[in-house]
Amino acid sequence: MQLQDILFSQGFGTRRVCSGLVQQGLVVVAGVVVDDPTADFAAAGLNFKVQGVDWQYHEKAYLMLHKPAGYECSQKPSTYPSIYTLLPAPIRQRGGGAAAGVQAVGRLDQDTTGLLLLSDDGKFIHRMSSPKHHVPKVYEVTAKHAVDDKQVQKLLSGVVLDDDPKPVKAAACVQTGPNQLTLTLTEGKYHQVKRMIAAVGNRVEGEGGVGGLHRSRIGSLDLPADLKAGQWRWLTGGDLAAIAGSGK
């Protein structure tokens, strides 16, 4: 694969821009400056530097982001900054064209924190998002009022939301504190956690009247303890295997 095409596929700009980066001596492969845009390399697993920054070729992008509060999962946010501003420009521009870059796998509200997956693989996004695949998602919930066993049992047996007469229920629900729950869902309706908690007479609300909802796991993949809010990283093969083994 020509080096200029490798850079283009990884989001470093148009083919003309990528060709220019190479010609200007700004691309290093295996410790050697390459100034020929048409130089061929085996793309799979290729490590290179662009303007001094280390990169590795990925045919498809699979990322995790620790979403902080105060960010919208939208390319065109209305009030708060977009989560996509937390990613390097090449990842936002991968592939070029109108549908360039990675997309969030589902959405988290601006005040919800935690594990968010992103990819440019449409099949992966569909599989992870579709309720047909029952991929479990685990949320740590802080409620405004004290939680009791009656509320827990209602969440497990099913509650009716205002847009669907069919009850929705938690796959698992464990009280972890006076006002705290760990809630596992296998479908992703709009504002589902907040609406389910409201349906049992309580409210998702953290300290100071804000937040209170954190996604800690998707499938068998936990949000790493060392990934701080606002940070991202590539998913490893083990991460993808943990996700692939979840759902139906």
Which residues have a catalytic role annotated? 109
d(CA 135, CA 38): 43
Q: Are 25 and 6 in contact (CB under 8 A)?
A: no
- Structure tokens belonging to residue 50: 């662009």
Token pair 């409210």 in the structure block, residue: 203
Q: Is 8:14 a contact under the CB 8 Å cutoff?
A: yes
Asked whether 102 and 90 are in contact (CB, 8 A), the reply is: no
Read off the amino acid at residue 80.
Y
- Sequence-distant (6+) residues with CB within 8 A of 53 are none
